[in-house]
């Protein structure tokens, strides 16, 4: 695995001050980040999140997906616990990249769901590879996570390369009229464990 640690600094946020660890994947040139708070390398399970890059949701306030809301909720949960890790993985668009995600969104605007759109563009529904997490977690001394996710494939991937998941913690955000179909497709076709997706719409509308 070609992911190497490069530098660490502080990152003050509205949630608290994190340590920001920068990594380089020498094979792809991708730059990944781990945010940590508290003592994460002491052998006890760490509250954790693997967050896949979503420029539109994380930085541009998109309501098409739940990513930005999940990012905020995960950082808040880590800050509340005073200890945890968030890996910010540069796997934009479930691994197809930003421009292809915009192409996929155009197909979704015309009626396709998120899986059909990826397939029409010649991609698998989810092209992410979580192997990059292993050297990052090893560098941080983390072997066991309480993982915030609704995606059982993330749990399986971590366990396959030797990171124990002591507990899966759901990270479900209230749906809005713009992301309800996307969330229903995630639950129906991508295997995400989501509760009542209709819940929360009344609050949003």
Ligand X SMILES: Nc1nc2c(ncn2[C@@H]2O[C@H](COP(=O)(O)OP(=O)(O)OP(=O)(O)O)[C@@H](O)[C@H]2O)c(=O)[nH]1
Residues in contact with 194: Cβ distance below 8 Å, sequence separation at least 6, in sequence order: 150, 172, 183, 186, 187
Picked from ligand X, Zn ion, none, the partner binding residue 25 (CB below 5 to 8 A depending on kind) is none
- Cβ 71 to Zn ion, closest distance in Å? 9
* Contacting positions for ligand X (CB under 6 A): 52-54, 65, 67, 70, 91-94, 96, 101, 104, 114, 118, 149-151, 154, 171, 186, 192
Is 66 annotated as catalytic?
no
Please check if 172 is assigned to a binding site: no
Which strands, in side-by-side order, build the sheet including 144-148?
3-13, 16-25, 31-37, 84-89, 46-52, 144-148, 164-169
- Cβ 174 to ligand X, closest distance in Å? 14
Q: Of 27, 90, 126, 196, which is the active-site residue?
A: 126
Closer to ligand X by CB, 41 or 152: give it.
152
Phi, psi (deg, nearest 5) at residue 132:
-60, -20
User: For Zn ion, which residue of 3, 54, 85, 96 counts as binding (CB under 5 A)?
Assistant: 54
Q: Of 128, 164, 180, 196, which is the active-site residue?
A: 128
Q: Which stretch binds Zn ion (CB under 5 A): 9-17, 66-74, 94-102, 185-193?
A: 66-74
Transcribe 166-202 into DSSP letters: EEEE-------TTTHHHHHHHHHHS------TTTTHH
**Token pair of 71, please?**
């990012």
Tell me if 19 sits within 8 A of 62, measured CB to CB.
no
Closer to Zn ion by CB, 24 or 190: give it.
190
Please state, in angstroms and as integers, the Cα–Cα distance from residue 84 to each residue in 21, 36, 201, following that order: 13, 6, 30
Residue ranges for the known binding site for Zn(2+) are 54, 65, 67
Q: Which residues are catalytic?
A: 126, 128
Write out the binding residues for GTP.
49-53, 70, 92-94, 114, 149, 154
């Amino acid at each position: 695995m070609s992911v190497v640690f490069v530098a660490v600094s502080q990152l003050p946020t509205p949630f608290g001050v994190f340590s920001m660890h920068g990594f380089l994947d020498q094979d792809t040139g991708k730059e990944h980040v781990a945010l940590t708070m508290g003592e994460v390398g002491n052998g006890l399970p760490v509250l954790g999140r693997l967050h896949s890059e979503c420029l539109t949701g994380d930085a541009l306030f998109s309501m098409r997906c739940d990513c930005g809301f999940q990012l905020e909720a995960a950082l808040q949960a880590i800050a509340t616990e005073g200890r945890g890790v968030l890996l910010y993985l540069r796997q934009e668009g479930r691994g197809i990249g930003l421009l292809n995600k915009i192409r996929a969104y155009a197909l979704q605007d015309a009626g396709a769901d998120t899986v059909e759109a990826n397939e029409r563009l010649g991609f698998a529904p989810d092209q992410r590879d979580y192997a990059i997490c292993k050297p990052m977690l090893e560098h941080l001394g983390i072997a066991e996570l309480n993982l915030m996710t609704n995606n059982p494939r993330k749990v399986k991937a971590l366990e396959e390369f030797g990171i124990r998941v002591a507990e899966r913690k759901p990270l479900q955000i209230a749906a809005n009229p713009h992301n309800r179909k996307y969330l229903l497709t995630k639950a129906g076709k991508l295997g995400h464990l989501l509760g009542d997706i209709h819940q929360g719409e009344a609050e949003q509308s």
